Chains A and B, each alone.
Chain A
Amino acid sequence: GAVVSQHPSWVICKSGTSVKIECRSLDFQATTMFWYRQFPKQSLMLMATSNEGSKATYEQGVEKDKFLINHASLTLSTLTVTSAHPEDSSFYICSASLGLTTLGYGYTFGSGTRLTVV
């Protein structure tokens, strides 16, 4: 149980284009989804917290107009990287808190998306 499906697993896009990453909770309702970014050989850094039906909360230094987050349903959260540039190339991963479900405590992670902007 508590599976988060993340797609795509990898994507290569041209500079200036937009890329959408989806995270779906398959067997539970994720009222809150966290989005992280991980650069090579670095830790996971929280970008934003998305709550179903409301605006996302962004961490300091994360451009909300560049990283658009939508959490329109209890099972789907999306991150759109707009006007991507090579410096946006990174590993993006979503996570849901199980503490808000009947599944107990802890967190579950999507499988991650490797974004390469050329």
Chain B
Amino acid sequence: GENVEQHPSTLSVQEGDSAVIKCTYSDSASNYFPWYKQELGKRPQLIIDIRSNVGEKKDQRIAVTLNKTAKHFSLHITETQPEDSAVYFCAASKAGRRALTFGSGTRLQVQP
């Protein structure tokens, strides 16, 4: 089955700096790669996703890049703000009947 590894486990940045979280996946058949932000005790909230036919996607301060050959994808947050502090999860799946496999999570702390 799919295996997703995520690094780092914790990340502390100063407000205004950029944050980068990286994930690798094992199943070359995976074609859907979402990123979620999760507040304590809440459901995961989709912040951005990318499909395997695209190498990069951007939405305001958030961007995701995908390297299918190397089987890794990254989340980039620019101009970080204190409200970006949360746990972020990457995930991968072969969209459809297959479930998402989640990375281990990154606790991002943005220092004011």
Interface residues of A (CB under 8 A from B): 32, 34, 42-46, 49, 91, 93, 95, 97, 99-100, 105-107, 109-112, 114
What distance in Å separates the Cβ of B108 from its nearest Cβ neighbour in chain A? 14
In the complex, the 5 A-B pairs of residues with the closest C-beta atoms, listed nearest first: A34-B99, A109-B43, A99-B95, A99-B96, A43-B102
B42 cross-chain contacts in A, Cβ below 8 A: 111-112
Q: Is the CB of A97 within 8 A of B97?
A: yes
Residues of A contacting B: mostly:
strand
From B13-21, B44-52, B56-64, B67-75, the one touching the partner chain is: B44-52
B97 cross-chain contacts in A, Cβ below 8 A: 32, 49, 97, 99-100
A106 cross-chain contacts in B, Cβ below 8 A: 32, 34, 46, 49, 95
The residue in A44, A91, A95 that gathers the most chain B C-beta atoms within 10 A of its C-beta is A44
For the complex, what is the distance from the CA of A46 to the CA of B41, rounded to whole Å?
A: 17
Counted as pairs of residues, one from A and one from B, with CB atoms less than 8 Å apart, the total is: 56
For the complex, what is the distance from the CA of A111 to the CA of B51, rounded to whole Å?
A: 25
B25 cross-chain contacts in A, Cβ below 8 A: none
B32's partner among A45, A46, A93, A105 (CB-CB below 8 A) is A105
Interface residues of B (CB under 8 A from A): 32, 34, 41-44, 46, 49, 51, 89, 93, 95-105
For the complex, what is the distance from the CA of A114 to the CA of B40, rounded to whole Å?
A: 11
B95 cross-chain contacts in A, Cβ below 8 A: 97, 99, 105-106
Q: Is the CB of A44 within 8 A of B44?
A: yes
In this complex, what residue of A is CB-closest to B6? A43
For the complex, what is the distance from the CA of A91 to the CA of B89, rounded to whole Å?
A: 16
B104 cross-chain contacts in A, Cβ below 8 A: 42-43
What distance in Å separates the Cβ of B96 from its nearest Cβ neighbour in chain A? 4
Q: A43-B89, A44-B44, A112-B41 are in contact. Are A107 and B96 (CB under 8 A)?
A: no
Q: Is the CB of A91 within 8 A of B41?
A: yes
A46 cross-chain contacts in B, Cβ below 8 A: 99-101
In this complex, what residue of A is CB-closest to B98? A97
Q: Is the CB of A97 within 8 A of B96?
A: yes
